[in-house]
């Protein structure tokens, strides 16, 4: 055994006809390990200098860009009971299609002729207002007549007062003349007494002069009485004028009061009419609310009430409508550490659930089955999951998103950052450095404008 181990295997294999030596010991075979090692090293060096696109991965879901395009609850405005269903779950409807018919459950709306009776009340109130308007107009005409009558009466009294003034002046002049005549007669009778006592004139002459004096005295008293009577008549005319003014003022005030009362009744009636018209409009609109119609085109899902006669409260959900005409968007949730790397207008690649894809993380252009997007909105408040929400819309420069997308479907987003070498990316990950900050063309344009 020891001699066999010390034998020269290569010499025996060369002189032997047995093939087992060559197959077992591979004596004549040359190793290529060095070549493979050098080739791998060269390939690694080449690969290390290849470009690599830095990226941020995030999970999200399919949603819509506008909130009115998302699934919405259809609620009833009024309380009621289910009378008839016009659709079933899964049906597609157009905007304005009738979904459900409700019946009334409140006692105050049970009257089937409620609208007609309300209209009759409105008509009655309007006729009453017309009556009050006619009464107010009549009172206004009466006021004008009283004002005109007062004007004529006062004019008549003013004319009488002027006439009485003239008469008073005439009586005053007559009284002055009588007074002068009385003064002359008094001087004459006084002189006649002296002359009678002296014997110049006879008693007959003295008595004749005395009669003349007494006549002038009587005439004077009559003139004074006439003057005082004229003055009294003038005062009576003034009293009558004041009485006329007061009388007509009372009558005009009474007519004006009736007019204002009618106007007040008209205003009150108009308020009642407005209130009744408001009630009529509310009743009319309520009748229209018995038929629940689709606010937009979509698919009916999640019906909360099923059987006929079931009660619905005010504001209670009836069904859910998923709109058909929507602009899809993807909501992604970014960690706070990666949020500074995201900007509006930045490119994002997507992998949608249910659509096959081959993804090369660092070479997005070489990937298959991915779709392009653009960041359209970045929320500044943190979500309940501790991350920030961003919305990504379809990139118009890329191929369109699949039409089979459904709201709520999953999506994996890859936010593309700066292009670097592979060796740099490996070095960055080994040292735990963040990716390079990237600014989209949109962000750069806004920065230049500022």
Residue in 423, 416, 422 with CA at minimum distance from that of residue 438: 416
414: β partners:
57, 349
Residue 278 has a pLDDT of 93
pLDDT confidence tier of residue 6, bands split at 50, 70 and 90: very low
Instruction: Please tell me the CATH code under which domain 52-69+326-449 is placed.
Output: 2.40.30.170
Over residues 103-155, the pLDDT tens digits come to 888 888 888 898 899 999 999 999 999 999 999 999 999 999 999 998 999 89
258: left (phi over 0), alpha (psi -120 to 50) or beta: alpha
Residue 436 has a pLDDT of 62
Residue in 446, 450, 443 with CA at minimum distance from that of residue 374: 443
Span of 88-92, 254-258, 262-266, 341-345 with lowest mean pLDDT:
341-345
pTM: 0.56
Residue in 362, 374, 366 with CA at minimum distance from that of residue 398: 374
Residue 199 has a pLDDT of 74
- Parse the chain into domains and list their residue ranges: 52-69+326-449, 72-104+290-322, 114-285
Radius of gyration of the chain (CA): 61
Residue 1 has a pLDDT of 43
> Under a CB-based contact definition with an 8 Å cutoff, are residues 223 and 171 in contact?
yes
Same fold, 52-69+326-449 and 114-285: no
Residue in 357, 356, 372 with CA at minimum distance from that of residue 413: 372
Q: CATH fold of 114-285, please?
A: Helix Hairpins (1.10.287)
Residue 152 has a pLDDT of 92
Over residues 272-289, the pLDDT tens digits come to 999 999 999 998 988 888
In the chain, % of residues over pLDDT 90: 17
Report how far residue 219's alpha carbon sits from residue 178's, in angstroms, rounded to the nearest whole number.
7
> Under a CB-based contact definition with an 8 Å cutoff, are residues 376 and 392 in contact?
yes
The two three-digit tokens of residue 365, written as one number = 């252009």
Q: Specify the higher pLDDT residue, 65 or 433.
A: 65
Q: Kindly report the three-state secondary structure assignment for every residue of 169-209.
A: HHHHHHHHHHHHHHHHHHHHHHHHHHHHHHCCCCHHHHHHH
Q: Kindly report the three-state secondary structure assignment for every residue of 212-255.
A: HHHHHHHHHHHHHHHHHHHHHHHHHHHHHHHHHHHHHHHHHHHH
Greatest extent of the chain over all pairs of C-alpha atoms, in Å: 230
> Under a CB-based contact definition with an 8 Å cutoff, are residues 351 and 357 in contact?
yes
Report how far residue 294's alpha carbon sits from residue 95's, in angstroms, rounded to the nearest whole number.
5
- 82 has a pLDDT exceeding 70: yes
Residue 139 burial by Cβ neighbours in a 10 Å radius (0-12, 13-18, 19+): buried
> ∠ at Cα 11 (10, 12), nearest 5°?
95
Q: Does domain 72-104+290-322 have CATH number 2.40.50.100?
A: yes
The two three-digit tokens of residue 163, written as one number = 């006439």
């Amino acid at each position: 055994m020891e001699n066999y181990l010390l034998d020269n295997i290569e010499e025996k294999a060369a002189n032997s006809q047995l093939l087992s030596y060559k197959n077992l010991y591979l004596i004549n075979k040359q190793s290529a390990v060095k070549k493979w090692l050098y080739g791998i090293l060269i390939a690694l060096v080449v690969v290390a200098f290849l470009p690599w696109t830095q990226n941020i991965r995030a999970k999200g879901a399919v949603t819509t860009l506008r909130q009115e395009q998302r699934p919405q609850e259809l609620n009833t405005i009024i309380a009621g009971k289910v009378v008839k269903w016009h659709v079933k779950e899964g049906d597609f409807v157009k905007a304005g299609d009738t979904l459900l018919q409700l019946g009334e459950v409140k006692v105050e709306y049970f009257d089937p002729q409620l609208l007609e009776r309300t209209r009759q009340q409105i008509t009655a109130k309007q006729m009453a207002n017309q009556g009050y308007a006619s009464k107010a107009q009549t009172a206004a005409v009466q006021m004008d007549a009283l004002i005109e009558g007062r004007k004529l009466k006062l004019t008549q009294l003013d004319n009488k007062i002027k006439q009485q003034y003239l008469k008073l002046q005439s009586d005053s002049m007559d009284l002055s003349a009588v007074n002068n005549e009385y003064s002359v007669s008094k001087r004459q009778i006084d002189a006649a007494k002296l002359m009678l006592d002296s014997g110049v004139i006879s008693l007959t002459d003295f008595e004749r002069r005395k009669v003349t004096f007494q006549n002038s005295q009587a005439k004077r008293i009559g003139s004074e009485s006439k003057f005082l009577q004229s003055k009294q008549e003038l005062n009576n005319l003034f009293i009558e004028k004041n009485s006329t003014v007061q009388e007509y003022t009372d009558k005009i005030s009474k007519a004006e009061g009736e007019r204002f009362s009618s106007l007040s009744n008209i205003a009150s009636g108009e308020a009642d009419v407005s209130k009744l018209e408001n009630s009529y409009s509310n009743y009319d609109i309520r009748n229209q609310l018995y038929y629940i119609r689709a606010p937009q085109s979509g698919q009916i899902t999640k019906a909360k009430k099923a059987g006929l006669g079931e009660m619905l409260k005010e504001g209670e959900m009836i069904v859910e409508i998923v709109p058909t005409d929507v602009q899809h968007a993807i909501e992604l949730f970014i960690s706070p550490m990666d949020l500074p790397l995201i900007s509006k207008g930045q490119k994002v690649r997507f992998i949608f659930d249910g659509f096959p894809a081959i993804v090369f993380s660092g070479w997005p252009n070489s990937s298959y089955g991915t779709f392009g997007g653009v960041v359209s909105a970045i929320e500044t408040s943190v979500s309940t999951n501790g991350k920030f929400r961003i919305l990504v819309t379809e990139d118009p420069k890329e191929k369109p998103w699949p039409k089979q997308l459904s709201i709520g479907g999953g999506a994996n987003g890859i936010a593309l950052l700066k292009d670097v070498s592979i060796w740099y990316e490996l070095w960055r990950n080994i040292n735990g450095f963040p990716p390079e900050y990237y600014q989209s063309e949109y962000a750069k344009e806004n920065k230049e404008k500022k």
